[in-house]
Structure 1
Amino acid sequence: MDVTTILILLLVGAIATYFSGDKLASKVALFFSVATLGVSLYLLNEFSKGETINYLGEWMEYPKVYLALQADGLSMLMVLLTTALTPIIIFSSLGNTYSNAKSFYALVLFMSFAMTGTFLAVDGLLYYIFWELALIPIYFIALIWGNGDADKRKKAVVKFFIYTLAGSLFMLVAFAYLYQKTNNFLLGDFFNLRLSATEQFWIFAAFFLAYAIKIPLIPFHTWQAKVYQKAPTVGTMLLSGIMLKMGLYSVIRWQIQIAPQAAKTLMPYLIGLSIAGVIYGSIIALRQKDLKKLLAYSSLAHVGLIAAGCYTLTLDGLNGAVYQMIAHGFVIVGLFFVAEIIHRRYETREISAMGGIRSQSPKFTSLFMILVLASVALPGTYNFVGEFTVLYSLSQVNIWFAVFGGTTIILGAYYMLKMFQNVMLGETNTKVFASITTNEIITLVIIIAFLLFFGLYPKPITDLVNPAIKDILIHINR
């Protein structure tokens, strides 16, 4: 068994879900997503034993394209993030009713298939195809099943599609240029090129446009908040929990390894831009009245810090960025699910229309509070492991980077706790807040259990990803 099994299972699952009909679609999608997680865990076990789970096969003769899929500790961890969050997201949606459910859940699985392929592909053109395929399902999920005014939703989704597609075209041009020098798209051959400083600069810039839009980094973030707000919660979870990690992962896997000299030269500017996103996202989050938009800008601030860690080009920075990718994936999915739980009962996302939930649902309040504390990186949660490691790496580069990057902790604590106070405390809302269901409790407990377990015992993830990061740094510094 190799990594192709994961992709085949997700693709077959998407097809089976579509033909299962609307009544069975959610159950079939959940079955295949859980089965895929099981296969991922099995392959992780094989990987830890030193077994080969990679795949290499010829696909096209001209241009020379390979079906090249490779799993090291870094890509394996990202695949596990995708295959773990997909069933959680599907399970969390069972409390909702969707028109044309078979298409909705089929698109969710197809998106998971494309994102998984992006994390595994080591052929540039294959990677690009997976990268673009992931854009198609989220476009339709947000456009068809989104909320709010249809015209505004369409405008936001089309802007997102055009932005990301346009940025990706620059990356495709970079791949075409590199192909002329290697006669194939294999990542390993790209590494071995001796590109001039000028060539590296333009290759780096082409990749940067694609990744900065996807992550997003300021000033390429203008699509994010409205799409997060307009998309159905499942779509927002997929975007924030997994899809933006494609850009962060690609910075480490492709950008800084193909153009290491450019990365070193531009390091202070890239870190500065990333930290500016931290501060900007936090300040804008303070002013939000819509719960989903507040969480969207909170996400913008956190991914800015992750990007800063990636661009430190240090062992601690890259490791911390990866830790924070995983922690952010789980906590942001949990927070958006909390927003969905409240919306199911109050049919609003306006923070001013909430309040008094604590007196009606103490269990839900406690679970929400743990997620808020994880979001602000309280020690004992996995978010603390990631943020502390990234901030430490920033201090190694320049102490002022760490000082300004650390504002995410102060500002994050302020706007998240203020939001919690306005949403959960205060006078009781005139509407009754129905008790949370078993489905909702299970979803939140699973997410919280992950954050607490690895917050107290991060060694398994550290042991998995650390060798891959060391190999990347050896290549960058050779």
Structure 2
Amino acid sequence: MVPVLLLLIPLFSGLALFAVKNENSVKTLALLSSIVTLAVALYGMTCANGSEYLIVNKEWLPALNSRFHMEIDGMGKVLTLLTALSFPIVFAATSGNRYEDSNRFYALMLLTQAGLMGVFMAMDALLFYFFWELALIPVYFLCSHWGGERRIQVTFKFFVYTFVGSLLMLTALIYLYFHAGQNFDIKAFYNIKLTSSKDALMFWLMFVAFAIKMPLVPFHTWQPDTYEQSPTAVTMILSGVMVKMGVFGVIRWVAPVLPISFYQYGDTITWMAIIGMIYASLVAMQQDDLKRLVAYSSIAHIGLMVVALFATTKSGMQGVMIQMFNHGINIIGMWIVVNAIEQKFGTRKMSQLGGIAQKAPGLAILLVIVAFANIALPLTNAFIGEFMMFNGVFASTVTSFNVAFTVCAALTIILAAVYTLKMLQKVLFGETSAVTAQTTDISFSVKVSLVIIVGAILLFGVYPKPMLGVTNELVDVLLSKMTLTMGK
């Protein structure tokens, strides 16, 4: 019941909005739809894993032995909640933004939400691929129609990367389907046995597809330009929710399905992730545009999740799962601030800002808290996630480089503090500029959105038990499948 509602509410609401012409009505209906979806997700969060309310398994394509199998397990609860929470916050925070053909804009946003929900709940490989595409197609139109001046070429690059990744994944899924007894169900995939060479080929086809979506260096070049040129509301969803599709895909469809290659190439990919983290952090330090700074910051944070994931420890994997939620909340908070600054001052250049704390103290206080969460200050939500990930990397027994990995990854925390504090200094403090001299504080809707995010930051920073509780059982199951398969 819950999976069907999480899928159909945004899907039908999105389709209905195409027929609504009044802009205020469109915004109101989109917000109401997202709030109802959030209520359903919160209900699902309280249900026990394996509950009949969290599972749907119906006949779909019998000729291909593919079923409409959707289930919300521990990781699904975390990510469906993130998706459900993100959209009303984004809609409220950007309510002052004006869009040509706003009904189509909000309709495509809700269709994106439906696709994301499907990705995080699908337990059938063909169904997973179907929703993967459903989530991406609306974003292509959102970026190409409502983006910035360079939107066409940037969107084309985004499309090429995405299309190539999708083809690689589809190729691997079809191949695995035939080796799973012509069955797309995830349990059949878990029982697949391949030779080492075929296992490695399928691993790289799947992993590259997911690495593009994260994105992981060197597959990242589409991301900064796309974030910069996309409407900020779309950038929030891309950065806060959609990049989690890549990490989620590795956890759900790679680690337990192809664990031998996951172990074999773990060190190689971990070094790639660490190099990417350091590179992205150094580039972020050189940015003057707030959007690009936040974009490169996101690459560094995702890189740490990859490092912890390939450590193959309970602490590391559980830290990744809860950090996907925490990073999503925090990065959306950063994007809300960027949008508020751009709407109020007409610029994203830090060199043109300054002294905002004098004129907009509410914005300054909320930005400082969100920024501190972004660098995982203790008592913020990101601290527990990063602590568990570093603990998992250091305690890893599948690599002899665990100490080196921990030290190199920890370096990026220092770099993150440098560019984040530098950003706060340039934007909030010092003398006001010609741009910021005459201004007022942020609007009520933006303030409410940021207060909700700050509330989540402090709540899960002080009391992370709910997130730890819902992911604990799933982590044990995944690690046991990986260990069992590698031991055969």
Q: Which residue is equivalent to 2:205?
A: 206
Aligned equivalent of 2:459, options 437, 450, 453:
453
**How far apart are 1:18 and its partner, in Å?**
2.1
Q: Which residue is equivalent to 1:383?
A: 382
Q: Which residue is equivalent to 2:420?
A: 416
Q: 1:255 to 1:331 in 2, by over 3 A?
A: same
CA contact (8 A) 2:143 2:231 kept: yes
Residues in 1 aligned to 2:449 and 2:42: alpha-carbon distance in whole angstroms: 20
> What residue identity is the alignment partner of 2:112?
M
- Aligned to 2:18, the other structure's residue is in SS state helix
Q: Which residue is equivalent to 1:178?
A: 176
> What residue identity is the alignment partner of 1:364?
L
1:467 correspondence with 2:473: yes
Residues in 2 aligned to 1:259 and 1:354: alpha-carbon distance in whole angstroms: 50
Q: Which residue is equivalent to 1:43?
A: 44
Residues in 2 aligned to 1:2 and 1:301: alpha-carbon distance in whole angstroms: 34
Residues in 2 aligned to 1:245 and 1:201: alpha-carbon distance in whole angstroms: 23
> What residue identity is the alignment partner of 2:182?
N
Residues in 2 aligned to 1:312 and 1:333: alpha-carbon distance in whole angstroms: 27
Residues in 2 aligned to 1:251 and 1:416: alpha-carbon distance in whole angstroms: 29
Cα shift readout 1:59-115 (whole Å, capped 9, x = no counterpart):
113222211101111112111110111111111111111111100001111000001
Q: Which residue is equivalent to 1:285?
A: 284
Residues in 2 aligned to 1:54 and 1:406: alpha-carbon distance in whole angstroms: 40
Residues in 1 aligned to 2:76 and 2:238: alpha-carbon distance in whole angstroms: 18
**How far apart are 1:278 and its partner, in Å?**
1.1
Q: Which residue is equivalent to 1:235?
A: 234
**How far apart are 1:475 and its partner, in Å?**
0.5
**How far apart are 1:434 and its partner, in Å?**
2.0
Q: 1:395 to 1:469 in 2, by over 3 A?
A: same
- Aligned to 1:20, the other structure's residue is in SS state coil
Q: Which residue is equivalent to 1:268?
A: 267
Bigger drift between 61-70 and 153-162 goes to 61-70
**How far apart are 1:350 and its partner, in Å?**
1.1
CA contact (8 A) 2:2 2:40 kept: no
Bigger drift between 443-452 and 190-199 goes to 190-199
CA contact (8 A) 1:18 1:25 kept: no
**How far apart are 1:134 and its partner, in Å?**
1.1
> What residue identity is the alignment partner of 2:169?
M
1:330-341 equivalences under 5 Å are: 330-341=329-340
Identity of aligned residues (%): 38
CA contact (8 A) 1:92 1:440 kept: yes
Residues in 2 aligned to 1:84 and 1:336: alpha-carbon distance in whole angstroms: 15
Residues in 2 aligned to 1:368 and 1:411: alpha-carbon distance in whole angstroms: 19
Residues in 2 aligned to 1:364 and 1:46: alpha-carbon distance in whole angstroms: 37
Q: 1:197 to 1:318 in 2, by over 3 A?
A: same
Bigger drift between 377-386 and 55-64 goes to 55-64
Q: Which residue is equivalent to 1:21?
A: 21
Q: Which residue is equivalent to 2:446?
A: 440
Q: Which residue is equivalent to 1:308?
A: 307
1:159 correspondence with 2:160: no
> What residue identity is the alignment partner of 1:460?
P
**How far apart are 1:275 and its partner, in Å?**
1.2
1:99 correspondence with 2:104: no
CA contact (8 A) 1:168 1:209 kept: no
> What residue identity is the alignment partner of 1:124?
A
> What residue identity is the alignment partner of 1:361?
A
**How far apart are 1:2 and its partner, in Å?**
3.4
Q: Which residue is equivalent to 2:143?
A: 142
CA contact (8 A) 1:214 1:247 kept: yes
Q: What RMSD, in angstroms, separates the aligned Cα atoms of the two structures?
A: 1.2
**How far apart are 1:44 and its partner, in Å?**
2.4
User: How high is the TM-score relative to the length of structure 2?
Assistant: 0.95
Residues in 2 aligned to 1:164 and 1:344: alpha-carbon distance in whole angstroms: 30
> What residue identity is the alignment partner of 2:97?
N
Residues in 2 aligned to 1:163 and 1:190: alpha-carbon distance in whole angstroms: 26
CA contact (8 A) 1:132 1:165 kept: no
Residues in 2 aligned to 1:77 and 1:60: alpha-carbon distance in whole angstroms: 29
CA contact (8 A) 1:281 1:297 kept: yes
Q: Which residue is equivalent to 1:348?
A: 347
CA contact (8 A) 2:57 2:70 kept: yes
CA contact (8 A) 1:339 1:349 kept: yes
Residues in 1 aligned to 2:18 and 2:248: alpha-carbon distance in whole angstroms: 30
Residues in 1 aligned to 2:287 and 2:367: alpha-carbon distance in whole angstroms: 19
- Aligned to 1:55, the other structure's residue is in SS state strand
- Aligned to 1:297, the other structure's residue is in SS state helix
Residues in 1 aligned to 2:362 and 2:73: alpha-carbon distance in whole angstroms: 40
Q: 1:307 to 1:49 in 2, by over 3 A?
A: closer
> What residue identity is the alignment partner of 2:368?
M
CA contact (8 A) 2:370 2:454 kept: yes
Cα shift readout 1:331-351 (whole Å, capped 9, x = no counterpart):
100001101111111101111
Q: Which runs of 5+ in 1 are unaligned?
A: none
> What residue identity is the alignment partner of 1:281?
A
> What residue identity is the alignment partner of 2:349?
E
Cα shift readout 1:97-150 (whole Å, capped 9, x = no counterpart):
111110000111100000110011111111001111111111111111112x2x
Cα shift readout 1:181-237 (whole Å, capped 9, x = no counterpart):
221211110101222222211111011111110000000000000000000110100
Bigger drift between 16-25 and 441-450 goes to 16-25
CA contact (8 A) 2:3 2:70 kept: yes
- Aligned to 2:69, the other structure's residue is in SS state strand
> What residue identity is the alignment partner of 2:480?
I
> What residue identity is the alignment partner of 1:153?
R
CA contact (8 A) 1:17 1:106 kept: yes
**How far apart are 1:368 and its partner, in Å?**
0.6
1:356-367 equivalences under 5 Å are: 356-367=355-366
Q: Which residue is equivalent to 1:66?
A: 67
Q: Which residue is equivalent to 2:399?
A: none
> What residue identity is the alignment partner of 2:262?
A
**How far apart are 1:393 and its partner, in Å?**
1.2
Q: 1:143 to 1:22 in 2, by over 3 A?
A: farther
Residues in 1 aligned to 2:147 and 2:352: alpha-carbon distance in whole angstroms: 21
Q: Which residue is equivalent to 1:109?
A: 110
Residues in 2 aligned to 1:286 and 1:224: alpha-carbon distance in whole angstroms: 17
**How far apart are 1:22 and its partner, in Å?**
3.4
Question: How many residue pairs were aligned?
Answer: 475
**How far apart are 1:51 and its partner, in Å?**
4.2
**How far apart are 1:50 and its partner, in Å?**
4.0
Q: Which runs of 5+ in 2 are unaligned?
A: 397-401
